[in-house]
Amino acid sequence: MSGTTTPGSVTSALRDAKLRAPSPLFDRPSTPRGVFSSQQGFLRALGGLCIVLLAVLPFLDASRYTMSIATSALIYVMLCMGLNVVVGYAGLLDLGYIAFFAVGAYVSGILTTVVGLPMWMALPATILCCIVAGIIIGAPTLRLRSDYLAIVTLGFGEIIRITANNLKITGGPSGIHGIPTWSFGDWSFADGLTIGGLVFPQRVLFYYFVAAIVVLVGVIGAGRLAKGKMGRAWKAVRDDEDAAEAMGINTYLAKISAYIIGAVWAGVAGQLMATHLSAISPNSFQFLYSALILMAVVLGGMGSTPGVIIGALFVSLAPELLRDFSEWRFLIFGVLLVVVMLFRPSGLWPSTAILPWLRKRRPVPPPTQGFLAPVPVDEDETPLAAEDATAEEGEGR
């Protein structure tokens, strides 16, 4: 009968529909190939280009001024990357981040000038002191949230600066001078280096390369942390701390781990700055610098490593590029910041940014075009569900 459906006819219909449906293995839309076919590939290519530029810059212009400005910019990048872990990943508004920068600078300065340790031996002690400082400051303050946390961290930042301004071992208002350079055996950064007949400036070049290596390690480390279990815990705390705690995440441990990692980053940057300038003073660690670092993170895009690097370079290099406008450079700098934030409120490179050419990809075919294509039914055939319902109705009668 034409009104009945047999299992054989259903199987045949399914087979015919499967043959007519496009295969997802062969009929999927074409996508761009090569380096620019994915966000990750583009970022790796961009990172490789930046490494090449960092390596080539001293051969293009090895003047003391250029190398000093480039080193200072890289130190800013290190600071901003550390604060990005605290603010961008964990969502902790820290207005006293410059305190850890001061701890690293003063500990290395005291150990090298008073104790007489070489700089490479002072580095582990500096990291340890920054970890202890992060625990001492973070243990009580990280139980607070939002504005209260910001106010307390601001207070700790000022406490560190005022303490350094009044202690004899830190040099008081004059600070510490004559901080020795890095040395390895009989050779030190102050000896300079000649490569291929090109004489590089004494000590300045080597601090530039050390800063570049530290930044490179920091970029790789930040990427690993952000994608790992700890990074996911930070982002969960940032998005909703109560929900993260309900899901079994130790929110306090996540916050203090981010705080300690940020403190270590700032401490290493402080030691590099102290040896680079050979002198430090309390005026180098005012609240203004905490605000500038936070501004760079927000300007570049919180939680975005490329964005933070761009923001740090903008904040550190813009005043130098505007030095010809000595009377107006800070006004112009402020106007540029306002304009950028008006047109890019999420930052120059936010963490959710998608490359323009990746947005224009053809969408993935909906399920109705693949294996889940509907099975065609002849008009004179009755679906199995309807036939079963009719049979049950007849039995009920």
Distance CA(328)–CA(336), nearest Å, equals 12
Domain ranges of the chain: 65-182+192-286
Check whether 153 has a pLDDT greater than 70: yes
Please state, rounded to an integer, the average pLDDT across all residues of the chain: 77
Check whether 241 has a pLDDT greater than 90: no
Q: Is 369 left (phi over 0), alpha (psi -120 to 50) or beta?
A: alpha
**At what angle are helices 98-110 and 146-166 packed, to 10 degrees?**
30
* Rg of the chain on CA atoms, in Å: 30
* Top mean-pLDDT range of 44-48, 151-155, 341-345: 151-155
Q: Quick one: pLDDT at residue 100?
A: 92
User: Which has more confidence, 122 or 2?
Assistant: 122
Taking residues 281-298, what's their average pLDDT? 88
**Which helix (H) or strand (E) element contains residue 116?**
none
Which range has the worst mean pLDDT, 59-63, 280-284, 350-354, 376-380?
376-380
* 3-state class (DSSP) for residue 111: helix
For residue 312, what are the contacts with CB-CB under 8 A and spacing of at least 6? 73, 76, 77, 79, 80, 81, 293, 296, 300
Query: Among the residues of 84-177, which ranges form H helices?
Result: 98-110, 119-141, 146-166
For residue 15, what are the contacts with CB-CB under 8 A and spacing of at least 6? none
Q: Quick one: pLDDT at residue 187?
A: 56
Check whether 276 has a pLDDT greater than 90: no
Taking residues 289-295, what's their average pLDDT? 87
Which pair of structure tokens corresponds to residue 322?
A: 């505007």
Residues in the chain: 397
Q: Are 361 and 31 in contact (CB under 8 A)?
A: yes
Q: Are 119 and 183 in contact (CB under 8 A)?
A: yes
Residue 4, CA distances (Å) to 7, 10, 380, 382, 391 in order: 10, 11, 9, 6, 12
Residue 351 pLDDT class (50, 70, 90 cuts): low
User: Which has more confidence, 5 or 89?
Assistant: 89
Cα-based torsion angle of the residue sequence 339, 345, 349, 354 in order, rounded to the nearest 10 degrees: -130
Distance CA(208)–CA(315), nearest Å, equals 18
Q: Quick one: pLDDT at residue 362?
A: 47
Taking residues 366-386, what's their average pLDDT? 51
Which range has the worst mean pLDDT, 189-193, 263-267, 297-301, 378-382?
378-382
Taking residues 109-118, what's their average pLDDT? 85
Residue 53 pLDDT class (50, 70, 90 cuts): confident
Candidates 179, 34, 58, 50; CA nearest to 107 is 179
